[in-house]
């Protein structure tokens, strides 16, 4: 569904007829407030919004939309009748995916929409959702750094929502994220997180695939089934955690895949073939079910293992010492013993000064202890 938002009824009618001609489902709203209500009922594939509207302008509308739906990645095209360079720049800096100047010819509007939807499909990547009560904020940061994650992590806690970009495992909070927001997330014991990866594939470099994408326009429009949301969680294993990850994959065939990982090594893998036809919501329900089954299997296997006592004479490697100090700091932090946590993380930082997660942890703790 494409959502058109403009306070000019004539433009809404013209734009709607142009997009209907391409086979799109189109909803229209005469104000940003009405558009927010429509978006509550159904997630749009794309939003085209005028910049200047009474009550709430396009930029404010986009911000309100993202506050209500932080886990969505809906592309925006802003529209203006002014075409002033500074306004276009402001819209792009605000996060617009494209910009058109009214009056825009219907053929051009259809082409811009088709191009943006193609880019969205090509760059769509697995999304994973987890529970902050089971996989806390500090653990999420650690996972992103160790795995070299690039993309965006959306955190939703009570009365709090934050989109935090990462590049090659390093968080990039920027000037717009207040320190107090990060501190509240560090202390959050409820809520969810969503990881949206941004991979680069050889498919993007292939002219053959590019031609295939162009020819795909002639085929019937895709249905609701886009890549469904995956799941990510952790099962405690002493001072470490087994990561459980479930997603919908298309290679070597379409299936739901769940993998349990420990230190990057796969301990368990389960697959389930989808039962077509299936909507995105049905696929996500199956993903949640398989994920929960594998989590339970991991817990049962751990319970059946006899614990082995470590050899006290065996020296720890620097990595093992770092991991132990990180976990000790984490447990102290969760227990409210901030001074102990700071000491442990500073020792860990001395072992690996380049570890970004520990650096952020230390900065947060120093502020809490009034040492900043």
Are 145 and 173 in the same domain?
Answer: yes
Domain boundary among 161, 188, 217: 217
For residues 316-336, average pLDDT: 83
For residues 243-264, average pLDDT: 75
Q: What per-residue confidence (pLDDT) applies to 164?
A: 79
Residue 189 pLDDT class (50, 70, 90 cuts): confident
Q: What per-residue confidence (pLDDT) applies to 111?
A: 87
76 falls within a domain: yes
User: What is the extent of the structural domain holding 116?
Assistant: 2-122
Tokens at 122, concatenated: 């090509």
Residue 276 pLDDT class (50, 70, 90 cuts): low
Nearest alpha carbon to residue 288 among 261, 324, 325, 248:
248
> HSE (CB half, 13 Å, CA atoms) of 216?
15
Are 232 and 131 in the same domain?
Answer: no
Are 136 and 194 in the same domain?
Answer: yes
Domain boundary among 160, 184, 217: 217
Cβ–Cβ < 8 Å for 311, 260: no
150 falls within a domain: yes
For residues 252-278, average pLDDT: 74
Enter the DSSP assignment of 307.
P
Residue 205 pLDDT class (50, 70, 90 cuts): very low
Residue 18 has pLDDT above 60, yes or no: yes
Residue 224 pLDDT class (50, 70, 90 cuts): very low
311 falls within a domain: no
Nearest alpha carbon to residue 74 among 23, 112, 39:
39
Give the total residue count for the chain: 372
310 falls within a domain: no
Which residues have a Cβ under 8 Å from the Cβ of 61 and sit 6 or more positions away? 5, 32, 35, 36, 49, 53
Q: List the CATH number of the domain containing 85.
A: 3.40.50.2300
Query: Which of 164-168, 202-206, 219-223 is the most confident on average?
Result: 164-168
Residue 291 pLDDT class (50, 70, 90 cuts): confident
Residue 209 has pLDDT above 70, yes or no: no
> By mean pLDDT, which of 138-147, 222-231, 241-250 is the weakest?
222-231
Helix (H, G, I), strand (E, B) or coil at 258: strand
Residue 310 pLDDT class (50, 70, 90 cuts): low
Q: What per-residue confidence (pLDDT) applies to 222?
A: 38
For residues 100-107, average pLDDT: 83
Residue 40 or 205, more confident: 40
Are 258 and 338 in the same domain?
Answer: no
Residue 36 pLDDT class (50, 70, 90 cuts): very high
Q: What per-residue confidence (pLDDT) applies to 30?
A: 92
> How many angstroms separate the Cα of 111 from the Cα of each of 19, 82, 106, 166, 194?
10, 21, 9, 32, 31
Cβ–Cβ < 8 Å for 355, 136: no
Are 8 and 56 in the same domain?
Answer: yes
User: What separation, in Å, do the N-terminal and C-terminal C-alpha atoms of the chain show?
Assistant: 49
Residue 176 has pLDDT above 70, yes or no: no
Residue 120 has pLDDT above 70, yes or no: no
Are 247 and 161 in the same domain?
Answer: no
Q: Quickly count: other Cβ atoms within 10 Å of residue 169's Cβ.
A: 18
Are 233 and 254 in the same domain?
Answer: yes
Tell me the pLDDT of the chain averaged across its residues: 76
> By mean pLDDT, which of 77-86, 111-120, 123-132, 323-332 is the weakest?
123-132
The torsion angles phi and psi of 261, rounded to 5 degrees, stand at -120, 140
For residues 164-181, average pLDDT: 65
> By mean pLDDT, which of 102-106, 275-279, 311-315, 350-354 is the weakest?
311-315
Number of domains in the chain: 4
86 falls within a domain: yes
Residue 307 has pLDDT above 70, yes or no: no
Q: What per-residue confidence (pLDDT) applies to 48?
A: 92
60 falls within a domain: yes
**Assign residue 168 a region: left if phi > 0, alpha if psi is -120 to 50, beta otherwise?**
left
Q: What is the DSSP string of 175-239?
A: TTS-HHHHHHHHT--S-EEEEEE----GGGG-HHHHHHHHHGGGSPPP-S--PPEEEEEEEEETT
pTM of the predicted structure, to 2 decimals: 0.46
Domain boundary among 95, 122, 149: 122
For every residue of 59-73, which 3-state class applies, written as one string? HHHHHHHHHHCCCCC
- Which pLDDT tens digit goes with each residue over 55-66? 998 888 988 888
């Amino acid at each position: 569904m494409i959502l058109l938002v403009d306070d000019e009824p004539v433009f809404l009618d013209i734009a709607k007829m142009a997009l209907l001609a391409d086979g799109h489902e189109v909803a229209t709203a005469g104000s940003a407030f009405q558009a927010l209500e429509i978006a509550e009922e159904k997630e749009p594939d794309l939003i085209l919004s005028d910049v200047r509207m009474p009550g709430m302008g396009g930029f404010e509308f986009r911000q309100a939309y993202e506050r209500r739906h932080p886990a969505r990645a809906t592309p925006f095209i802003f529209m203006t009748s002014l075409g002033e360079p500074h306004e276009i720049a402001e819209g792009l800096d605000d996060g617009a995916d494209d910009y058109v100047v009214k009056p825009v010819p219907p053929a051009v509007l259809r082409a811009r929409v088709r191009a943006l939807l193609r880019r969205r499909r090509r760059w769509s990547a697995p999304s994973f959702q987890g529970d902050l009560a089971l996989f806390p904020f500090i653990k999420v940061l650690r996972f992103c750094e160790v795995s070299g994650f690039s993309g965006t992590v959306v955190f939703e806690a009570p009365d709090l929502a934050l989109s935090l970009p990462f590049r090659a495992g390093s968080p990039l909070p920027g000037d717009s994220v207040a320190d107090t927001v990060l501190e509240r997330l560090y202390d959050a014991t409820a809520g969810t997180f969503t990881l949206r990866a941004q991979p680069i594939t050889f498919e993007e470099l292939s002219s053959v695939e590019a031609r295939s994408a162009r020819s795909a326009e002639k085929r019937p429009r895709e249905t609701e089934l886009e890549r469904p949301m995956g799941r990510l969680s952790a099962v405690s294993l002493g001072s470490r955690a087994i990561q459980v990850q479930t997603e919908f994959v298309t290679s070597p065939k379409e299936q739901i895949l769940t993998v349990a990982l420990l230190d990057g090594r796969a301990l368990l893998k389960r697959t389930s073939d989808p039962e077509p036809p299936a909507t995105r919501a049905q696929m996500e329900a199956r993903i949640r079910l398989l994920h929960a089954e594998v989590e339970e299997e991991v817990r049962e296997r751990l319970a059946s293992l006899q614990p082995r006592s470590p050899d006290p004479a065996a020296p720890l490697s620097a990595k093992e010492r770092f991991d132990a100090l990180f976990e000790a700091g984490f447990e102290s932090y969760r227990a409210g013993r901030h001074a102990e946590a700071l000491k442990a993380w500073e020792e860990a930082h001395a072992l690996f000064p380049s570890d970004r997660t520990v650096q952020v942890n230390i900065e947060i703790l120093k502020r809490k202890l009034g040492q900043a």
